Amino acid sequence: MKPVYVLGVGAHPWGKWPNKPQVALAVEALQAAFMDAGIGWPQVEGMVAASSRFEGGMGWGLHANEVVQTVSEQGIPCINVGGACAAGVIAFHTAWAMIASGQHDAVAVVGAERMPKGFIPRPPGSQDDISDSDYLRWVAMGATNPAYWALEAQRRFHEYGTTPETLALAAVQMRSNAAGNPYARYREPLTVAEVLASPMVSDPLHLLQICPVSDGAAALVLGSERFLAHVDRDPVQVAGCAVGSGQFGDPARRIPTIANNVLPGVAHTSEVVGAVSRALKMAGMGPRDVDILEMADNSAWHLLAWPELFGIVEPGQSDWMLARGRYARDGDLALNPGGGFLSFGEATTAQAVLQLCELTWQLRGEAEGRQVAGAKVGLSAVLGLGANGGSVVLKR
Amino acid sequence: MMHEAKSFVVDGLMAEGSEGVRLCASSCGGCGSVYFPRTVSCRNPDCSSTSLEEKLLEGRGILYSYTIQRYQPPNLFRIDNWEPYALGLVDLPEGIRVMGMLSGFDLDNIRIGETVKLISECLFTDPDRGKVMTYKFAPEITGRDAQ
């Protein structure tokens, strides 16, 4: 395989953008990434988009086609990949493979999203019967997404003695990280007392410990060695890159299922743990080589659990790490130094692309207002519906 | 009479016999894996059997975790007289962990590790369907009485 580099990154700030269609957010993010890479449309040899089910893509998830038909009809391959909240990393993986295989020298990746208000509705065409878990979980027990994360958090309280204060501190840390990040939607500082005073949604998760939804877009350009001559800065290289799906016997409470087979020895959240493990192996690294972890914090619980699942710290050690500032930007592991999903609100298909933009800015030393000093290795991790997992290792 | 009628919230999810409510599951003829709800194929990658049998689960198990829904879920969840309720995750002896509503617990005093049993309760009453029932897990009273 040929080495692959991140040539340029760009994003549209997260928020609610009622006056910009999804495709406009996508185009703005791409233009920023092209400008950052110092290249233009004529050099782009392929477009990979994370397919959204909410807006754009002509209703068929054809978001890459929609972008080129909007901006530059130049005959390049347009590839649209599904993967729900993990679609962004699957798009990245696809673009990486297009270059690593030697087929192309520069490929763009985009994820752009405008989210519906409130609870995410079931997709049209779903079956109202026992074959659809997403139907069952609503009609038989009214299980919301936060309820799934809350069941995990409550179990953690039981197993490791995690306290409400520590769980609140995870949300406080994310806000503190986001304070200087112009792309984050929620930047006002929070205190533990404020988190605990926010409404209880699904015990033990309070409102401020659950990621909301936002609109946003992120893009990047990947390229081969041939394009490095265009870039006058230290290149960020894709050291490892993997996607995967779930293992039978995984004990994680997987949305939207209502039951799972639990077998001993199977990793929790196996789709993500498996992808992380293979991405690190490809990079020739171990979990403790990671300086920055950009991970999907759909809830405050995830921030405690995932670094342990990846082997970066021991099971149950996250509480201690967090309380002592070891997950802060100047700690042993910088955990979501840009603020994470809790400070952005999830723009589903764009989120995993943004993670890789953030790692690139950090590794280049360009993460103004949130820079992790001297970071050399960044790891991303994301989970999507359908037991999709993905992970990328970037290095400087 | 119409108001005496009773139905289950989803066809094929649960069944009620002389011994009470049961969960409708599938059991693999090859590896013995049990699936709830019923499914079309065994998904154990180490098993190539194509034979699935129907199986009813008694639903007595151990509470693995729980949460309390403080806000009313969206309209797809239909319930009469909504108020906050507990959801639980229960380990059944068949090797599966099942999620469901809890009943009969004091919301401030739910204990992980407690033995629970399966019951059915009415979610809402509908003019066409009568009492619409779902399955729930309730404290195993016998164990408490023995203390």
Per the CB < 8 A criterion, the answer to whether A257 and A148 are in contact is: no
pLDDT tens digits, one per residue of A321-376: 999 999 999 999 999 999 999 999 999 999 999 999 999 999 999 999 999 999 99
Q: Could you tell me the residue range of the domain that residue A352 belongs to?
A: 133-209+237-395
pLDDT tens digits, one per residue of A171-214: 999 999 999 999 999 999 999 999 999 999 999 999 999 999 99
* B37's tokens: 């709800």
- pLDDT reported for residue A97: 98
Per the CB < 8 A criterion, the answer to whether B114 and B81 are in contact is: no
Q: What is the ipTM of this complex?
A: 0.95
Q: Are residues A246 and A140 in the same domain?
A: yes
Q: Could you tell me the residue range of the domain that residue B133 belongs to?
A: 2-146
d(CA A370, CA A373): 9
A259 and B10 within 8 Å at the Cβ level: the answer is no
Inside any domain, residue A128: no
Q: Are residues A254 and A193 in the same domain?
A: yes
Closest partner residue to B68 among A140, A202, A248, by Cβ? Answer: A202
d(CA A151, CA A133): 18
Chain B residues whose C-beta sits inside 8 Å of any chain A C-beta:
9-13, 33-38, 43-45, 64-74, 76-79, 87, 89, 91, 95-101, 112, 134-135
- pLDDT reported for residue A229: 76
Confidence category of residue B1, pLDDT binned at 50, 70, 90: very low
- pLDDT reported for residue B142: 58
Question: A158 touching B, CB under 8 A?
Answer: yes
Q: Are residues A174 and A195 in the same domain?
A: yes
Left if phi > 0, otherwise alpha if psi is -120 to 50, otherwise beta: which for A157?
Answer: alpha
Q: Are residues A65 and A154 in the same domain?
A: no
**Total domain count for chain A?**
2
Inside any domain, residue A124: no
Closest partner residue to A142 among B79, B95, B112, by Cβ? Answer: B79
Inside any domain, residue A125: no
Q: Strand A377-384 and strand B20-28: pairing?
A: unpaired
d(CA B88, CA B62): 10
Q: Are residues A57 and A69 in the same domain?
A: yes
Question: Helix or strand or coil: residue A382?
Answer: strand
Sign of CA dihedral A301, A302, A303, A306: positive
Q: Are residues A227 and A174 in the same domain?
A: no
Q: Which residues of chain A have pLDDT under 50?
A: none
Which residue has tokens 């002896």? B93
User: B-chain residues within 8 Å CB-CB of A130?
Assistant: 10-13, 37-38
Q: Are residues A148 and A291 in the same domain?
A: yes
Q: Are residues A75 and A171 in the same domain?
A: no
Where among A236, A271, A289 does a domain terminate?
A: A236
- pLDDT reported for residue A263: 97
Q: What share of chain B is helix, strand, coil (3-state, %, to 5)?
A: 5, 45, 45
Inside any domain, residue A127: no
pLDDT tens digits, one per residue of B28-76: 999 999 999 999 999 999 999 999 999 999 999 999 999 999 999 998 9
**Total domain count for chain B?**
1
Q: Are residues A302 and A383 in the same domain?
A: yes
DSSP state of A77: -
Inside any domain, residue A197: yes
Q: Are residues A176 and A164 in the same domain?
A: yes
The CATH number for A36's domain is 3.40.47.10
Q: Are residues A243 and A231 in the same domain?
A: no
C-alpha atoms less than 13 angstroms from C-alpha of A66 in its C-beta half-sphere: 24
Closest partner residue to B13 among A130, A151, A205, by Cβ? Answer: A130
Q: Are residues A309 and A341 in the same domain?
A: yes
Inside any domain, residue A334: yes
Inside any domain, residue A82: yes
Q: Which long-range contacts (CB under 8 A, 24 or more apart) does A21-24 make?
A: A21/A55, A21/A56, A21/A114, A22/A52, A22/A54, A22/A55, A22/A56, A22/A63, A22/A112, A22/A113, A22/A114, A22/A217, A23/A56, A23/A63, A23/A66, A23/A67, A23/A70, A23/A112
Which residue has tokens 């397919």? A51
User: B-chain residues within 8 Å CB-CB of A248?
Assistant: 43-45
d(CA A276, CA A74): 36
- pLDDT reported for residue A121: 78
Mean pLDDT calculated for residue range B12-32: 95
The CATH number for B36's domain is 2.40.50.840
- pLDDT reported for residue A42: 96
Per the CB < 8 A criterion, the answer to whether A356 and A345 are in contact is: no
